[in-house]
Structure 1
Amino acid sequence: MNVKEFSQMAQDMYKQLVAQGEILHPVVNTTRKLASHFWGSAWMKHLASCEESGLALAPGRSLLRHGCVLDLELAPGTIRGKIMGERIYDIRIDLVPIDEERMDAIRHACAGKIDARISLLEGKLDDALLRQLCNPDTGLLPSPEEWRMSCTCPDWSEPCPHAAAAVYAAGTLIDNDPTLLFLLRSVTLDDLVGKTPDAPASENFDTESLGRTFGIELDQL
């Protein structure tokens, strides 16, 4: 069965599950350029680097583009989803937490260099700091060694195509809402953003501006 057939099966299965009352969060990315904002682009570039190193992620990218990611949710340290293959498979990816030594180094590097959450979320930071934050060994992006993948499919490869699809779909969600990267890595924005002691919250986090940038709605903190 080819990917296009999976795509039609995915559409049919989605309609069937919704009709049964399931609440799903499908992810589709049909664009040639998989991401258009900073953190989504950083995530996708990291995956491309992993592919160049021999990790078999390309089948997952194809499943994503053909609408086979029927459900995906990001939570602290975890990605869960339902991916359509020959049938629907449940995937779970747990991320090894950032250890305290690495987290301390991140905090130290960010200290006094980020004056607003919007700057962090848009990636408008010093180049050296961005290189550290985007380096899987020193920053926020998880290296393949930090992924713990499981899938209900019979494929013993790691990652299987369905887990690979979930990893790429996570990047799509992060591109649309970069706060999800920090949620996934269990890092709070306030942990990295230096605030002026007497400044009101609205001066440090312009939710209206962020919403316009990423096309999302955020509650005022």
Structure 2
Amino acid sequence: MPRGWYDGAGPIRVEGGLKARTRRGSIGSTWWSRRFIDLLERVCDKGRLSRGRAYARQGQVLSIDLTPGEVRAAVQGSRRRPYEVVVRIEAYDEARWSTIEESIAAQAVHRARLLAGEMPPEIEELFAALGVDLFPRDLDMDCSCPDWGFPCKHLSAVLYLLAESFDDDPFLVLAWRGRTREQLLGSLADEPAADPLTVDDVPFADRLADFYAPGATAHRPEGRRPVAEPDLLLRVFPPPGDLAGPLTPAYRGLAEA
């Protein structure tokens, strides 16, 4: 039939299909799955999204296969043969991922949380700073059904189930971009992490001339001394009685001297 034809008949019910866990309301509970759903619900037809949620909850999606840059799925509609669904995004190459991993490894907190199996919210900003997107801005989607709507309810059902799978495993978001969980964590584990407590060592021979200069150390250049109020000692250790009054000018005078 020509593209644009729409069959309002109900779908053929199937057994053993993939079903959304949520029976009502929004789908997606974590920040990363909600980010994906927000994109979907901002650009797609609300009516077909509603029917797509119903398909997802009824178990009409037979299979979903995610590979770098592509998701393929089969959805049982009103016809005997299931419809074929394809959703594509850009998968980053090895050079791009090498840069991303170096940037993650340089952030000790991000690196630790990813190694612990968590997705830090700041990682989206890290991607943006490198000029790439973690979540797709646009989706290249296609369905073999004759419905002219975009996306159709079959595509919508797959996208909702995809978001729910992101809840279970946030690393699927990265796998879709071209990096599996094993690849990323293996790279981060091998990458030397930056130690925030590391201080550059200055050889003693290079500092011999000024090593004994007053106020000069390897980490505090000569002439830069701590600044403190001259009467700080009196305030920290108050003298007995009313001695603080006459002693304050004396301390200030010593500081000026």
TM range (shorter): 0.5 to 0.7
Give the whole-Å Cα distance in 2 for the aligned partners of 1:55 and 1:189: 38
Cα distance change on mapping 1:132 and 1:155 into 2, 3 Å: farther
2:21 to 29, 44, 55: 29
Q: TM-score, normalised by structure 1?
A: 0.62
Contact 2:19–2:58 (Cα < 8 Å) also in 1: no
Query: Which deviations, in whole Å up to 9, do the C-alpha atoms of 1:166-217 show, x marking residues without a partner?
Result: 112111111111222211110242498476639xxxxxxxxxxxxxxxxxxx
Deviation at residue 153 of structure 1 after TM alignment: 0.9
Q: Tell me whether 1:47 sits opposite 2:40 in the alignment.
A: yes
Q: Which residue of 2 aligns with 1:81?
A: 73
* Conserved? CA contact 1:115–1:195, under 8 Å: no
* Letter of the structure 2 residue corresponding to residue 47 of structure 1: L
Where do residues 1-221 of structure 1 align in structure 2 (5 Å cutoff)?
Answer: 5-6=10-11, 9-10=12-13, 13-14=14-15, 26-31=18-23, 32-51=25-44, 57-87=49-79, 88-98=82-92, 106-107=100-101, 109-113=103-107, 114-116=110-112, 118=114, 121-125=117-121, 127=122, 129-131=123-125, 133=127, 138-144=132-138, 147-187=139-179, 188-190=183-185, 193=188, 197=192
| 1:152–1:130 CA distance, 2 compared to 1 (3 A) | closer
**Contact residue 38 and residue 122 of structure 1 kept, 8 A:** no
Which consecutive segments of 4 or more residues in structure 1 shift more than 6 A?
99-102
Query: What runs of 5+ residues in structure 2 fail to find an aligned partner?
Result: 1-6, 194-257
Aligned length: 178
Q: Distance in 1 between matches of 2:175 and 2:47?
A: 25
Counting aligned pairs with the same residue, the percent is 26
User: CA contact under 8 A between 2:63 and 2:74: conserved in structure 1?
Assistant: yes
Larger Rg: 2
Contact map agreement 1:80 1:91 (CA 8 A) in 2: yes
CA RMSD of aligned residues (A): 3.7
Q: Any gaps of 5 or more consecutive residues in structure 1?
A: 16-24, 199-221
* Residue type at the aligned position of 1:76: P
| Structure with more relative contact order (C-alpha pairs < 8 Å, separation 6 or more) | 1
Decide whether aligned partners of structure 1 residues 191 and 164 sit closer, same or farther in structure 2, where only a CA change above 3 A counts.
Answer: farther
More helix by share: 1
> 62-71 or 76-85: which moved more?
62-71
